[in-house]
């Protein structure tokens, strides 16, 4: 978090920006979490190659002056590590190398439709080496949380509303902290919109949690038991992770729909997300046909990288599914263990009651209590197994599906290009024939068509190149995120196991003297 920063404040007028800097300087080192200020300050990303040398800092950061936090780190050639100000050391760097070192590749990336306004560019470096060397950039000026599930309404028309709270210093939002109420279909609607807009570019759109008619019905009907509570909690956590992934994604965050989702008080009801609606059916059919076509497309790609990665993704997905199934089994067995332990504890207590040797009787009752405590431990452990491990795996299985979708999108683009090329070829053949047959007016038309298709071929080729770059970038970003996620979640899980064992030790240590006291 507090990695050394090499941020040179741009030549903004007025020294008023210096003071907030020094304030932040003092605070940032220790309290990085609370203070969003000063971390990953946005860097203008979509430079045109010509302006890549930071010659227009003023234009791009005109918006910046309104926010005290923003002092973008446009790098000049000084960016190679020379700090001009001491305060800058305390601010985390934000992919400074990006804009300067690779003017050529930035041009292509502009196809990813970054708006010229400030963007987060946490992991945007273009060259392969930079992509892989980039330090973990996990500081964002953005925090979202999904909390307070509340049941609105009654009966079958009831629904759960969730509070979506955002805390940010990004200037594109009206306030720094704000919250809105959203329902599940709103989240799905957001996904649909983002999907439509961005999946064609090869972006990996985080998939939302799954619908569950059974689960929701229970909640609607008002079944007030632990399984409903579990379901709601599970959904809340999943929605939170979903949103966090969305806002983590630099280009998705820029999307006005995302902003609207986070900010706007009343959101129009998302249509087409209802399970049994016509749109729903249509989607199912489309997906089915997509699946068929996926199997038939195979790019004779000179770049084996994509093929290899796709294979990796597929095999990884397989393993994760397997793992998820086993973890599920573990959760069930632990719940079983929990139940059986409780029953056993009661039985032990009864036995202790009927035992007529007093010391033994007491020891047996104590054993019953220990087993009772074990039951609680098992229950917590099962929850841990589920919420930390199983859900992580489920999320990534879905995400890998989205990644595959990305690759498939690229394949489709390639196919379109190939088809255009073959159409062009045909048109040329037609022209040749017409030339030979000497029909001037048809010839004119043929020539026009050829020009048209030549243009298309060029366009599609460019599209393909562009999407290849995006997919590659997205994939590397995804891999990094995945690596981080898995590590942190698994460590969290192990820590929960650790705590459980510590309490284990305590309970049995308390029991041992009781057992020894039997006489």
Partner 1 sequence: KLCKQYFPVDILSKILSINVDLQTDATLQVDISDALSERDKVKFTVHTKSTLPNFKQNEFSVVRQHEEFIWLHDSFVENEEYAGYIIPPAPPRPDFDASREKLQKLGEGEGSMTKEEFTKMKQELEAEYLAIFKKTVAMHEVFLCRVAAHPVLRKDMNFHVFLEYNQDLSVRGKNKREKMEDFFKNVVKSADGVLVAGVKDVDDFFEHEKTFLLEYHNRVKDASSKSDRMIRSHKNAADDINRIASTLYTLGTQDSTDVCKFFLKVSELFEKTRKIEARVAADEDLKLADLLKYYLRESQAAKDLLYRRGRALVDYENANKALDKARAKNKDVLQAETSQQVCCQKFEKISESAKQELIDFKTRRVAAFRKNLVELAELELKHAKGNLQLLQSCVGVLKGDT
Of residues 128, 196, 271, 350, which one binds partner 1 by CB under 8 A?
Answer: 350
Smallest gap, in angstroms, from Cβ of residue 365 to partner 1? 12
Give, as ranges, the residues between 230 and 259 that touch partner 1 (CB under 8 A): none
Of residues 22, 340, 422, 458, which one binds partner 1 by CB under 8 A?
Answer: 340
Tell me the β-bridge partners of 183. 161
Smallest gap, in angstroms, from Cβ of residue 318 to partner 1? 10
Smallest gap, in angstroms, from Cβ of residue 403 to partner 1? 15
Smallest gap, in angstroms, from Cβ of residue 247 to partner 1? 23
Tell me the β-bridge partners of 227. none
CA pair distance 60, 71, nearest whole angstrom? 11
Smallest gap, in angstroms, from Cβ of residue 186 to partner 1? 33
Based on DSSP, count helices (H) and strands (E) in the chain, helices before strands.
Answer: 15, 3
Here's the x/- map for partner 1, 257-296, by CB under 8 A: it reads as ----------------------------------------
Reduced to 3 states (helix: H, G, I; strand: E, B; else coil), residue 166 is strand
For 6, phi then psi, to 5°, come to -120, 70
333 contributes a contact to partner 1 by CB under 8 A: yes
Strands laid side by side in the 159-168 sheet: 142-152, 159-168, 177-183
Secondary structure string (H, E, C) spanning 106-155: HHHHHHHCCCCCCECCCCCCCCHHHHHHCCCCCCCCEEEEEEEEEEECCH
Name the residue nearer to partner 1 (CB basis): 414 or 478: 478
Name the residue nearer to partner 1 (CB basis): 181 or 344: 344
Q: With CB under 8 A as the rule, give the number of residues binding partner 1.
A: 57
Of residues 161, 299, 337, 383, which one binds partner 1 by CB under 8 A?
Answer: 337
Give, as ranges, the residues between 293 and 332 that touch partner 1 (CB under 8 A): 312, 315-316, 319-320, 322-323, 326-327, 329-330
Of residues 58, 152, 284, 490, which one binds partner 1 by CB under 8 A?
Answer: 490
Smallest gap, in angstroms, from Cβ of residue 253 to partner 1? 25
Of residues 35, 145, 237, 360, which one binds partner 1 by CB under 8 A?
Answer: 360
80 contributes a contact to partner 1 by CB under 8 A: no
Name the residue nearer to partner 1 (CB basis): 360 or 430: 360
Tell me the β-bridge partners of 461. none
Reduced to 3 states (helix: H, G, I; strand: E, B; else coil), residue 243 is helix
Smallest gap, in angstroms, from Cβ of residue 225 to partner 1? 22
CA pair distance 209, 108, nearest whole angstrom? 33
Secondary structure string (H, E, C) spanning 79-94: HHCCCCCCHHHHCCCC
Give, as ranges, the residues between 41 and 70 that touch partner 1 (CB under 8 A): none
Name the residue nearer to partner 1 (CB basis): 351 or 430: 351
Of residues 367, 411, 434, 446, which one binds partner 1 by CB under 8 A?
Answer: 367
Kindly report the length of the chain: 519
Q: Are 30 and 134 in contact (CB under 8 A)?
A: no
Reference 408, options 463, 471, 458; nearest CA is 471
Name the residue nearer to partner 1 (CB basis): 172 or 515: 515
Smallest gap, in angstroms, from Cβ of residue 491 to partner 1? 6
Reference 168, options 257, 36, 69, 40; nearest CA is 36
CB atoms within 10 A of CB 28: 22
Chain mean position to CA 493 = 20
191 vs 109, 205, 288, 384, CA distance in Å? Answer: 23, 8, 19, 28
Q: Kindly write down the DSSP assignment for every residue of 50-78, as one continuous string.
A: GGGGTS-HHHHTTGGGGSTT-------GG
Smallest gap, in angstroms, from Cβ of residue 261 to partner 1? 31
Of residues 104, 293, 357, 459, which one binds partner 1 by CB under 8 A?
Answer: 357
Check residue 102 and report its DSSP letter: -
Name the residue nearer to partner 1 (CB basis): 426 or 506: 506
Name the residue nearer to partner 1 (CB basis): 305 or 486: 486
**263 Cβ neighbours under 8 A, 6+ residues apart:** 166, 173, 174, 178, 180
Check residue 15 and report its DSSP letter: G
Token pair for residue 33?
């979490």
450 contributes a contact to partner 1 by CB under 8 A: no
Tell me which stretch binds partner 1 (CB under 8 A): 64-72, 193-201, 268-276, 502-510.
502-510
Name the residue nearer to partner 1 (CB basis): 277 or 483: 483
Smallest gap, in angstroms, from Cβ of residue 147 to partner 1? 28
Tell me which stretch binds partner 1 (CB under 8 A): 188-196, 208-216, 408-416, 479-487.
479-487
Reference 43, options 3, 108, 91; nearest CA is 91
Token pair for residue 340?
């059986």
CA pair distance 449, 433, nearest whole angstrom? 14
Interacting residue ranges for partner 1, rule: CB under 8 A: 312, 315-316, 319-320, 322-323, 326-327, 329-330, 333-334, 336-337, 340-341, 343-344, 347-348, 350-351, 353-357, 359-360, 363-364, 367, 479, 482-483, 486-488, 490-491, 494-495, 497-498, 501-502, 504-505, 508-509, 511-512, 515-516, 518-519
């Amino acid at each position: 978090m507090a990695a050394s920063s090499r941020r040179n404040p741009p030549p903004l007028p007025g020294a008023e920006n210096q003071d907030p800097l020094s304030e932040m300087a003092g605070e940032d080192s220790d309290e990085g979490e609370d203070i969003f200020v000063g971390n990953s300050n946005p860097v203008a990303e979509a430079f045109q190659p010509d302006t890549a040398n930071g010659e227009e800092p003023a234009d791009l950061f005109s918006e910046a002056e309104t926010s005290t936090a923003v002092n973008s780190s446009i790098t000049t050639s000084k960016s190679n590590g020379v700090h001009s100000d001491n305060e800058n050391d305390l601010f985390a760097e934000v992919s400074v190398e990006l804009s300067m070192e690779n003017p050529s590749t930035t041009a292509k990336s502009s196809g990813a439709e970054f708006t010229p306004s400030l963007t987060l560019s946490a992991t945007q470096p273009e060259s392969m080496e930079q992509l892989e060397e980039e330090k973990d950039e996990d500081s964002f000026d953005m925090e979202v949380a999904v909390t307070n599930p509340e049941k609105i309404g009654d009966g079958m028309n009831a629904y759960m509303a969730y509070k979506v709270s955002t805390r940010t210093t990004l200037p594109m939002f009206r306030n720094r902290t704000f919250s809105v109420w959203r329902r599940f279909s709103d989240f799905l609607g957001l996904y649909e919109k983002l999907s439509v807009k961005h999946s064609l570019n090869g972006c990996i759109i985080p998939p939302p949690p799954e619908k569950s008619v059974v689960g929701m019905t229970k909640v609607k009907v008002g079944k007030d038991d632990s399984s409903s509570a579990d379901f709601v909690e599970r959904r809340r956590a999943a929605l939170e992770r979903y949103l966090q992934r969305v806002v983590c994604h630099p280009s998705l965050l820029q999307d006005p729909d995302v902003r609207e989702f986070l900010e706007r008080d009343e959101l129009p009801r998302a249509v087409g997300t209802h399970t049994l609606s016509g749109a729903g059916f249509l989607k199912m059919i489309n997906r089915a046909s997509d699946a068929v076509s996926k199997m038939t497309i195979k790019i004779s790609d000179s770049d084996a990288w994509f093929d290899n990665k796709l294979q990796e993704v597929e095999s990884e997905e397989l393993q994760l599914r397997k793992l998820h199934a086993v973890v599920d089994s573990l959760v069930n067995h632990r719940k079983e263990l929990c139940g059986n332990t409780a029953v056993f504890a009661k039985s032990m207590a009864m036995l202790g009651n009927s035992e007529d040797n007093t010391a033994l009787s007491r020891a047996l009752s104590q054993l019953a209590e220990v087993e009772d405590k074990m039951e609680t431990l098992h229950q917590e452990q099962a929850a841990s197994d589920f919420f930390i491990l199983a859900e992580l795996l489920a999320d990534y299985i879905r995400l890998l599906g989205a990644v595959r979708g990305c690759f498939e999108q690229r394949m489709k683009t390639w196919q379109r290009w190939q088809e255009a090329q073959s159409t062009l070829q045909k048109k040329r053949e037609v022209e040749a024939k017409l030339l030979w047959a000497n029909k001037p007016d048809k010839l004119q038309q043929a020539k026009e068509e050829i020009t048209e298709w030549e243009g298309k071929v060029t366009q599609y080729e460019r599209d393909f190149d562009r999407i290849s770059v995006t997919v590659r970038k997205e994939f590397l970003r995804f891999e990094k995120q995945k690596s981080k996620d898995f590590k942190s979640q698994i460590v969290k899980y192990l820590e929960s196991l650790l705590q459980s064992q510590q309490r284990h030790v305590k309970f049995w240590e308390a029991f041992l003297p009781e057992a020894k006291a039997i006489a």
